[in-house]
Amino acid sequence: MAQLVDAPDAAAPEGGRGGRRPQRLDRVPRSRQVGRVRWYTYAVLALAVLACLFPLYWMFVVASAGTEAAAEMPPRVVPGGRLLVVTQLVFDTIPFLRSLVNSLVVAGLIAVGQAFLCSLAGFAFAKLSFKGRDPLFLLLVLTMTVPASLSVIPQYMIIAQLGWVDTLQALVVPGLVSAFGIFWMRQHISATIDDQLLQAARVDGCGSWQIFTRIAFPIVRPAAFVLGLLGFVNAWNDFLWPFIVLKSPEVYTAQIAIKALQSNLTVDLGLAMAGSFLVTIPLLVLFVFFGRQMVSGIMDGAFKG
């Protein structure tokens, strides 16, 4: 808080003073200004943050102002007090609670599956030697360039063959492990786990399974957690595939439920907005707690130069 208060004064005078100094054209003060942050830098950032947050804020405004708020002119910009009424209306219109639970189950299982299975495979690629390891890994990297959505029709045929149409396992099973996750965990395990540690465990008679579960996994658990988190977010937000395989409202995930709400558009403009708001809230809560880890996770996963 203290930091919040003193920041604007600290930044602004520096920029201002630098601007008014007569010897501004001189090279010397400029070199002393290395890394100095000017006010317009903050202006650019504030604008970007406003652009990021305003649509969500406005979603909240319309959701809380009641269902007619979406059709007001001039548009509303202040929240109203009817959030509970509108929420009730959403739950009355469609089996929304069921959809939220479905999403939670699907995203939760995918998160756990990815955190564990990607770590295990990443561990094998990083620390175990086996015949064909390098070609197998190259194949894995190549699979990342194949976009899934172009073969949705045969994918649907397979799901139909398995008798999984209109079931949640059609969403969970294909998502349990990902090439990106394995690649990511492999990088992480190579960088953080010392070979000598594993060698010592081997001398003590540990097999690779024990080495993984007792030594490697506990060490990389924070990274696996972030991976699971990203998997959760992606699964929670997925639309195309659930839209194809889910047919009846009882198995809808929350995203498909919004689509169902939106189909009532003739009745109610604001209802879909309230649904969108309710679907986003769980992730925002997660983000408040773990956003920092997600940011560093994404930045760690990026390859550097």
CB neighbour list of residue 121: distance below 8 Å, 6 or more residues apart: 177, 182, 185, 186
- To another protein, the closest distance from the beta carbon of 174 in angstroms equals 4
Backbone φ and ψ for 77, nearest 5 degrees, come out as -125, 0
Question: Contact 241/152 with Cβ under 8 angstroms?
Answer: yes
Q: Which is nearer to another protein, 219 or 244 (CB)?
A: 244
H-helix segments, the chain = 2-20, 27-32, 39-65, 83-93, 96-127, 133-143, 152-161, 169-172, 179-192, 195-203, 208-210, 217-237, 240-245, 254-263, 269-301
Q: Which is nearer to another protein, 197 or 298 (CB)?
A: 298
- To another protein, the closest distance from the beta carbon of 289 in angstroms equals 11
Q: Which is nearer to another protein, 77 or 97 (CB)?
A: 77
- To another protein, the closest distance from the beta carbon of 138 in angstroms equals 13
Give the integer Cα–Cα distance in Å for 233 and 108. Answer: 10
Question: Contact 59/280 with Cβ under 8 angstroms?
Answer: yes
- To another protein, the closest distance from the beta carbon of 152 in angstroms equals 7
- To another protein, the closest distance from the beta carbon of 183 in angstroms equals 10
Q: Which is nearer to another protein, 22 or 135 (CB)?
A: 135
Q: Which is nearer to another protein, 82 or 252 (CB)?
A: 252
- To another protein, the closest distance from the beta carbon of 250 in angstroms equals 19
Q: Which is nearer to another protein, 98 or 293 (CB)?
A: 293
Query: CB-hemisphere CA count at 13 Å for 3?
Result: 0
Q: Which is nearer to another protein, 91 or 156 (CB)?
A: 156
What are the C-alpha distances in Å from 219 to residues 111, 197, 212, 213?
Answer: 18, 11, 10, 10
- To another protein, the closest distance from the beta carbon of 190 in angstroms equals 15
Backbone φ and ψ for 144, nearest 5 degrees, come out as -70, -20
- To another protein, the closest distance from the beta carbon of 189 in angstroms equals 12
Q: Which is nearer to another protein, 64 or 255 (CB)?
A: 255
Backbone φ and ψ for 164, nearest 5 degrees, come out as -100, 5
Cα dihedral across residues 7, 10, 13, 16: positive or negative: negative
Give the integer Cα–Cα distance in Å for 213 and 221. Answer: 11
CB neighbourhood size of 166 (10 A): 13
